[in-house]
Amino acid sequence: MLLALGLKFCVQTRQPPRQLNTAIQRLKRDVRLRYQYRDDTDNTSLDTYNLNLYLANKNFQPERASEEIERALVDFENRITKLIYARKNKSQSNSF
């Protein structure tokens, strides 16, 4: 099947995201927000919630999560960074 694409076609694996640090920071912020509002069980406000009135505050920094969660976030960041940069050093082509 791949021969129909021509001799110059090269199968490559997907590249890691270019903005790895931005993605990790977003993940940390999202986890911390969920942790911060985990006990918010006031579902009555959802009935009157108007999405058009919501404005995200980009400067808002949520509180740090529990030590266990923070350690897991740091461990994840270290592992994923190590894996991605180790993979970047390998050739992405299928040449022989």
| pLDDT, tens digit, 9 for 90 and up, residues 27-52 | 999 999 899 988 866 655 556 767 77
* Residues in the chain where the model's pLDDT stays below 50: 96
Q: Tokens for 5? A: 């694409």
pLDDT given for residue 2 in this prediction: 53
Supply the DSSP string of 36-93, one letter for each residue: HTTT---THHHHS--GGG----TT--PPP--HHHHHHHHHHHHHHHHHHHHHHTS--S
Domain parsing of the chain, residue ranges: 64-90
